[in-house]
Amino acid sequence: MIKAILTKPLDGLPEGTEREFDKGDFEALERMGAVRRAGEPRTDGPTVEEYVAAGYRAANYPPQGYASRSTPDEIAAAVAAQDAPPAPEGAGKAAPPVANKKAPSVANKAAQ
């Protein structure tokens, strides 16, 4: 017998239920995407980018029970980006030009 987790409702049981099947039944259900082996991580989880966008810390990726769908380099970059100190307020923003309405008009003889 093979211990399996239902990935789709089956025989009135909800997804996520653990059941045992004989080898032939398990293989047929696995081909249909209805079961996975118990103890194996799920492969339908988020990428590290999707995980962080959902509000989670990259350092906790992948979620428990899921296999990683991102490369080690992508995970390291996401962790580094979250651990970097925040930029000071206004950093990288150019100040809009402000007209000085009280300045006297320029008298330039060369312009005449």
The partner residues of 66 in beta bridges, in order of sequence, read 42
Tokens coding 1:
């017998």
CB 50 within 8 A of CB 62: no
Contact partners, residue 30, CB within 8 Å, separation at least 6: 4, 36
Q: Do residues 57 and 29 both lie within one domain?
A: no
pLDDT, one tens digit per residue, over 9-32 is: 999 999 889 999 999 999 999 999
pLDDT, one tens digit per residue, over 54-102 is: 999 999 999 988 899 999 999 999 999 988 877 777 666 676 777 777 7
Q: Do residues 70 and 57 both lie within one domain?
A: yes
Whole-number pLDDT of residue 61: 93
Range of the domain at 66: 41-83
Whole-number pLDDT of residue 95: 66
Quick one: pLDDT band at residue 109, thresholds 50, 70, 90? Answer: low
Radius of gyration of the chain (CA): 29
> Position of tokens 């209805």?
34
How many Å apart are CA 82 and CA 66, to the nearest integer?
21
Whole-number pLDDT of residue 43: 83
Q: Do residues 53 and 72 both lie within one domain?
A: yes
**Phi, psi of 25, deg, nearest 5:** -65, -45
Evaluate whether residue 89 is within a structural domain: no
Tokens coding 23:
């080898």
Q: How many domains does the chain fold into?
A: 2
Residue closest to 8 by CA, chosen among 29, 38, 39: 29
Does the predicted TM-score (pTM) go above 0.95? no
Evaluate whether residue 14 is within a structural domain: yes
Evaluate whether residue 98 is within a structural domain: no
CB 36 within 8 A of CB 5: yes
